[in-house]
Amino acid sequence: MRKTVIAGNWKMNMTPAKTAEFIKALAPMVAGKDKCDVVLCVPAIDIPAAVEAAKGTNIKIGAENVHFKASGAFTGEISAEMLTEAGVEYVVIGHSERRQYFAETDQTVNLRTLAALNAGLKAIVCVGETLEQRELGYTETLLKFQTKMALTNVSAEQLKNVIVAYEPVWAIGTGVTATADQADEGNGFVRAAIAEVYGADVAETVTVQYGGSMNDKNAAELLAKENVDGGLIGGASLVAEKFKAIVDAAQ
Ligand code: 13P
């Protein structure tokens, strides 16, 4: 039985004050929804406000990135220990926006994943193809490669703290959602890659999310698919009622 995880990725939105307000409003809406884990991944500056506001609720807090070194001369970066001490439980790694705008590579995604897992964080590792790669017929090859690269040197034990999010780049923030079948297929490629390394039994236990224009309208159809074990939600996670509706769909 795989755990369903509904996670918001706020990206560069919300101030600390708005964070506290949002979580106070959301908490009663998702209280007692125990069929899925409810996570909000927030900008680093919002973490203290988020952790404080989420105390005593079933909302868990995540970060949007983590550095792979424990400490040192890395101006502007945040370590895994800093996150855990602040009360963070999850961290998004390798989002396509980090890959596209901040020179993230499959190798640094792997290093960040290892750093997060070694610190006891749960890693939400993002993979996904561009439209060009899809049209060239490379979706399966690419998803399997990205998944295996990200998980290099991750033990089967550590894999219990890994969630993989399949996020087709062409579906992110575009309003173009993958069809439920495309999402199921992409998530299936991710699971097949995990099976090739860790075995089919292990792969069956790993939560694989879909992300890319998931919203209150399409969540139920996407989440009904065999391989879709939750969502990583951008835009719709910034509106409490929409995010609540996605959590409801996961029930
Ligand atoms: P949207 O839901 O805004 O398309 O963003 C998806 C995403 O990138 C989540 O990480």
pLDDT tens digits along 68-107: 999 999 999 999 999 999 999 999 999 999 999 999 999 9
* 77 in catalytic set: no
For ligand 1, the distance from its centroid to the CA atom of residue 144, given in whole angstroms, is 21
Q: Which residues contact 198 (CB under 8 A, 6 or more apart)?
A: 156, 159
Give the list of residues 6+ apart from residue 79 with CB closer than 8 angstroms, or none. Answer: 66, 67, 69, 70, 71, 115, 119
- The percent of residues in the chain predicted with pLDDT above 70, rounded, is 100
For the record, the structure tokens of 176 come out as: 């173009």
Check whether 1 has a pLDDT greater than 90. no
Place of tokens 């706020």: 10
Nearest residue (by CA) to ligand 1, atom 5, is 234
CA pair distance 232, 215, nearest whole angstrom: 10
Q: Ligand 1 centroid vs 12 CA: distance in angstroms?
A: 12
Q: Which atom of ligand 1 is nearest to the CA of 235?
A: 3
By the 8 A CB rule, do 180 and 203 touch? no
Instruction: Report the residue count for the chain.
Output: 251
- The pick from 232, 237, 238, 246 for probing ligand 1's pocket by mutation, whose C-beta has the most ligand atoms within 8 angstroms, reads 232
Alpha helices in 170-232 (DSSP H): 180-198, 200-203, 219-223
Give the distance between the most distant pair of CA atoms in the chain.
49
Hunting for tokens 């069956």 — which residue is that? 204
And the tokens for 191?
Answer: 């699971």
CB 234 less than 6 A from any atom of ligand 1: yes
Q: In this structure, what DSSP letter does residue 55 have?
A: T
Output the six-digit token pair for 182: 């495309």
Token pair 């969630």: residue: 163
Q: Which of 10-19, 53-62, 173-182 has the lowest average pLDDT?
A: 173-182
Given a contact cutoff of 8 angstroms between Cβ atoms, the answer to whether 183 and 225 are in contact is: yes
Instruction: Confirm or reject: Cβ of 213 under 6 Å from ligand 1.
Output: yes
∠ at Cα 39 (227, 146), nearest 5°?
A: 45
User: Is residue 233 within 6 Å of ligand 1 at its C-beta?
Assistant: yes
The atom number, within ligand 1, closest to the CA of 214 reads 2
Look up 167 and say whether it is catalytic.
Answer: yes
Amino acid letter, 6: I
- Locate 50 and state its tokens: 């988020």
Q: Is the CB of 9 under 6 A from ligand 1?
A: yes
Domains for the chain: give ranges and CATH numbers: 22-239 (3.20.20.70)
The reply to whether ligand 1 has any atom less than 6 angstroms from the CB of 209 is no
Residue-averaged pLDDT of the chain: 97
Q: Is 11 left (phi over 0), alpha (psi -120 to 50) or beta?
A: left
- What amino acid is encoded at 172 in this protein? I
Judge if the beta carbon of residue 232 lies within 6 A of ligand 1.
Answer: yes
Q: Average pLDDT for residues 105-117, to the nearest whole number?
A: 98
Q: What is the pLDDT of residue 175?
A: 85
Global confidence as pTM = 0.98
Residue 176 has pLDDT above 90, yes or no: no
The answer to whether the CB of 95 is under 6 A from ligand 1 is yes
> What does the alpha-carbon distance between residue 12 and residue 10 come to, in Å, rounded to a whole number?
6
Nearest CA to ligand 1 atom 7: 234
In tens, the pLDDT along 217-248 reads 999 999 999 999 999 999 999 999 999 999 99
Residue from 5, 6, 9 whose mutation best tests the ligand 1 pocket (most atoms within 8 A of CB): 9
